[in-house]
Amino acid sequence: MPRPAPGPPGPRSFGTLPDGREVTVHTLTAPNGLELRVLDLGAAVQALRVPGPDGTGTNVVLGHPDASGYAEHADAYLGSVVGRYANRIGGARFALDGEDFALSANEGPTCLHGGADGFHRRIWRTVRASRTSLVLELVSPAGDQGFPGEVVLRARYTVADDVVALELEARTDAPTVLGPANHAYFNLAGEGSGTVDEHLLLVEADHYLPVGPDSLPLGGLAAVAGTPFDLTAPARLGERVRCGHPQVSAVGGIDHSFHLRGSGLRRAALLEHPASGRYLELFTDRPALQVYTGNSLDGTAPGTSGRRYRQGDGVALEAQAHPDSPNRPWLSDAVLRPGQVHRSRTQWRFGLRTGPAGAVRG
């Protein structure tokens, strides 16, 4: 199966959008051969090659091969930093300090991932770039997609050995809500290899958020015990997305927020591909992890391998706040005020398993 060839270090052209904007791709490389490609469009991870024992690399994230793919299929959100608020805000509105704000509705009456012209569609400014680090910045003006306050958001990607780190930092000049997150889809068998059915997933969570057909929370948190959302031990994804449970059927797979144990930077998930031995440990300091099994991939979006992505060809592990928290503040604190700094950290740590599946432990 063809794989994208390793890219040269530094920035290079990735093509032009239909409106004439130029897109740049930056390539970061670690000494061991790990290679990360990031676009200034949406601060998106376009490819991530992890080295194998023979020294060759395998791309393990979904991405489009050129700028036109991201323009035509923007709402697949492949690898992008989405915002202002990742996930859903019900009714595309919220109240803050006694004032109501109407947002861009782009999923029926819901605001999804910041609205119709969210951060994934923007060209971010390159602040600094080196072989191992990249800092991108986006200025979101007051009223952007209906959100109050100007927000200045920076995304810093770094690579070192087998770790890719993403740090998000934001400030505002007026009270607002904020919750950006990365929306990378992983397939540890290799991009373009088919579904992630045979992957094993562990999530460090004892509770999750049940949702309705609109993918908005039905109420509060529920225990994962006795449900297909009990991922406290590694579970085969194919079995869970085809189990017939009402919550799975409601959204055509898994598209649910898990309430992570603990606080601070800690392991949130372990994803394994037993056939290759590859595994990914995701660490974050965010309160929740949205697990999305690519339910809406419909065979139209082109991938870097030339294969078009179908349902289940990747799994997104989105470290974020809980959905609809601007309207349900007991779930997550989504408010950012002047003088405060929003900071979040996510790390993807890769390795090769040498013992039985599920043997990797934090």
User: Considering the domain boundaries, does residue 4 fall inside one?
Assistant: no
Does any domain span residue 357?
Answer: no
Q: Is 3 part of a structural domain of the chain?
A: no
Cβ 34 vs Cβ 49: under 8 Å: yes
326 in a structural domain = yes
Distance CA 236, CA 247 (A): 17
Separation between Cα atoms, residue 256 and residue 209, nearest integer Å: 6
pLDDT category, 355, cuts 50, 70, 90? low
Q: What is the rounded average pLDDT of the residues 104-121?
A: 98
Does residue 263 lie in a domain region? yes
Average of per-residue pLDDT across 312-320: 98
Does residue 1 form part of some domain?
no
CA gap 231, 188 in Å, rounded: 18
Q: Is 318 a catalytic residue?
A: yes
What is the pLDDT at residue 216?
Answer: 96
Per-residue pLDDT reduced to its tens digit, 55-84: 789 999 999 999 999 999 999 999 999 999
CATH number, position 278: 2.70.98.10
Tell me the torsion sign for CA atoms 209, 96, 334, 74.
positive
Lowest mean pLDDT among 93-102, 195-204, 350-359: 350-359
Q: 40 in a domain, yes or no?
A: yes
Backbone angles phi, psi at 262, to 5 degrees: 75, -170
Range of the domain at 273: 10-352
- Identify the burial level of 39 via C-beta atoms within 10 angstroms of its C-beta, where 0-12 means exposed, 13-18 middle and 19 or more buried: buried
- Which residue, among 170, 141, 139, 146, has the nearest Cα to 95 in the 3D structure? 146
Q: Exactly one of 183, 199, 259, 322 is catalytic; which is it? A: 183
Looking at 35, 191, 281, 318, which residue is catalytic? Answer: 318
User: What digits encode the pLDDT tens for the residues 323-342?
Assistant: 999 999 999 999 999 999 99
- Answer yes or no: are the C-beta atoms of 201 and 360 closer than 8 Å: no
Q: For the chain, how many structural domains are there in total?
A: 1
Asked whether residue 5 is domain-assigned, the answer is no
Q: Is residue 183 annotated as part of the catalytic site, yes or no?
A: yes
